[in-house]
Amino acid sequence: MFPYKDPFADGSPTLLETYKHQCVLLETELNEAYRDIQAARDRIARLVQITEKLTRQRDALRADLARLQGGR
């Protein structure tokens, strides 16, 4: 039979060290997700601005068309 050997005696991380490392990994992932969400919000805001501008242009063109069709 083999004598009992402590699995953490050979330099393996302790449970606390493992939890701390997992927390660092999760924090990094959370920060990355936050940056991605912020970038998406910025893109959405830009798309809203573009849509508003295009809507104003469309409405102006519709008004011009109605004016021109009414003038016949």
55 compared with 10, residue with greater pLDDT = 55
pLDDT at 70: 86
pLDDT for 1:
52
Q: Is the pLDDT of residue 5 over 70?
A: no
33-68 pLDDT, tens digit per residue, is: 999 999 999 999 999 999 999 999 999 999 999 999
Q: Please list, residue by residue across 1-27, b when 16 or more beta carbons sit within 10 angstroms of its beta carbon and e when fewer do.
A: eeeeeeeeeeeeeeeeeeeeeeeeeee
pLDDT in tens, 26-39: 999 999 999 999 99
